[in-house]
Amino acid sequence: MSAEQNPVKRFLGDIDTSIKNSEFADWYPISKKEFRDTVRSPWIWVLSLIFIVLFALPAVLGLYFNIGQQFAEAGASLTTDAYVRFALPIAAPLLPAVAIVIGYAAIARESERGSLKILLSLPYTRGELLAGKFVGRSAITLIPVTVGFLTTLLVLLPSEIEIAWESFLLFALATMTYGVVFTAFAIGLSAALKTARRAMAASLGIYVYLQVFWSNLGAGLGNLLSDHANIDQVTQLHVELFVSLLSPIAAYRTLVKEVLQGSPIRSRLLLTSNPQVTCEEMLGGTLEVTQAGAECANAALPPQYSTVAVIGYLLLWLVVPLVAGYYVFENKDL
């Protein structure tokens, strides 16, 4: 079947032509070339296969080994929410590592090889080059995520597990955003640093700190202020919660848990060292222990801990690295 007869190819061709003729035409050829060059590399498919296997594994275990039944026994119906609970601890640490590997060499490797000067001799600005690299590499990051979710659906559809479409799709959207955020983070460092090795070391170093140590930063800072600035316990908990939410990993986790629990307050309580004081004195509610877990009734969540605010904190890790990377890249002598 020719491209003219194939409706999918014709549709994609129409989209390609529309973008070329739009205001995005300046950076679109770069992102298109970046996507094509990267997708030909065998390592991207190895990474995709690893991610897909690990991501779809909870669905397979739940379907064939009935592991998800523990949630049904706890009083919840056996839905894809059980799958999300299994998949979240896999996606939270794995996807940033995949995104960093995909993005860290985007610009730094071009600089090492000398091809960056050739690219910039063409009618592209450094900003257009950065934007094109970001879009192209982000599309590559989304390949294993999208295929992983589609594979999961193919496994779950024939089963008796009910698909909770709203929470499943919100989890997919949050996970895709999470992957793009870390791609932007890696590309920003790639633009700012001179070599791919430095970009990789910096990206992985910050990622390890976020994954391993950031969770203790809020509590440590709160204790420090309590000891030396004589702040009260409520203020200490405010510091702990706010600092915790500034981590993209914690922001992603709490947003997904909010979708599962249907309560932003309950998901935020999990980030504090003293949920009872957080609920009763900081949020003005009453802590009630139910079969589904601790519930903070009649509480009011301050704006800085709202869903919109947490999404903003997550997206800061997309915007700030790109802007900072662009600023250094724009003023860097190649």
pLDDT of 10:
55
Give the tokens for residue 309: 């605010």
CB 102 within 8 A of CB 186: yes
Do residues 240 and 133 share a domain? no
Q: Are residues 182 and 34 in the same domain?
A: yes
Question: Average of pLDDT values for 278-307?
Answer: 83
Question: What is the domain range of residue 187?
Answer: 12-206
Of 334, 292, 197, 310, nearest in space to 252 by CA: 310
Establish if 321 belongs to a structural domain. Answer: no
Q: Which residues pair with 287 in a beta bridge?
A: 296
In terms of domains, do 49 and 163 share one? yes
Q: Quick check: 256 and 88 in contact, CB under 8 A?
A: yes
The reply to whether 317 falls in a domain is no
pLDDT at 282 over 60: yes
What residue ranges in the chain does DSSP mark as E strands? Answer: 286-290, 293-297
Is the CB of residue 212 less than 8 Å from the CB of residue 247? no
Residues 163, 29 within the same domain: yes
67's tokens: 């592991």
Q: How many domains does the chain have?
A: 2
pTM score: 0.87
pLDDT of residue 75: 44
What are 154-176's pLDDT values in tens digits? 888 877 778 889 999 999 999 99
The verdict on residue 152 lying in a domain is yes
Q: Residue 264 is which amino acid?
A: P
User: What pLDDT, in 10s, does the model give residues 221-242?
Assistant: 888 887 888 888 888 888 999 9
Dmax over CA atoms of the chain, in Å, equals 75
Answer yes or no: do 164 and 234 share one domain: no
Report the pLDDT value the prediction gives residue 274, as an integer from 0 to 100.
85
Q: Is residue 153 part of a domain?
A: yes
| pLDDT, tens only, 69-122 | 554 444 445 778 888 888 898 889 999 998 999 999 889 988 888 888 887 777
- Same domain for 79 and 26: yes
Angle at 234 between CA 230 and CA 236, to 5 degrees: 55
Between 201 and 58, name the one with better pLDDT. Answer: 201
SS3 sequence, 73-88?
HCCCCCEHHHHHHHHH
Question: Cα–Cα distance between 139 and 17 in angstroms, integer?
Answer: 18
Higher pLDDT, 253 or 24: 253
Q: Which candidate, 34, 170, 181, 30, places its Cα nearest to that of 99?
A: 181
Residues 59 and 175 in one domain: yes
> How high does pLDDT run on average in the chain?
83
What pLDDT does residue 179 have? Answer: 95
Q: What's the pLDDT score for residue 5?
A: 54
- Looking at 187, 206, 225, the residue that finishes a domain is 206
The C-alpha atoms of residue 137 and residue 190 are separated, in whole angstroms, by 12
Domain assignment present for 4 = no
Boundary of a domain, candidates 189, 206, 223: 206
57 and 200 belong to one structural domain: yes
Same domain as 98, residue 191: yes
Q: What's the Cα-to-Cα distance from 128 to each of 26, 51, 139, 141, 154, rounded to whole Å? A: 7, 30, 17, 20, 39
Which H, E and C letters describe 137-197, residue by residue? HHHHHHHHHHHHHHHHHHHHCCCCCECCHHHHHHHHHHHHHHHHHHHHHHHHHHHHCCCHH
| Spatial contact of 137 and 183, defined as CB atoms under 8 Å apart | yes
Closest to 119 in 3D by CA, of 100, 101, 106: 106
Q: Which residue has the higher pLDDT, 39 or 106?
A: 106
Q: Which amino acid is at 85?
A: R
Is the domain of 111 the same as that of 223? no
Alpha-carbon gap, residue 69 to 59, rounded angstroms: 12
In a domain, 328, yes or no: no
> N- to C-terminal Cα distance for the chain?
47
Question: Do residues 185 and 108 both lie within one domain?
Answer: yes
Q: Is residue 320 in a domain?
A: no
Which residue type, as a one-letter code, is found at position 74? A
* Same domain membership, residue 155 and residue 219: no
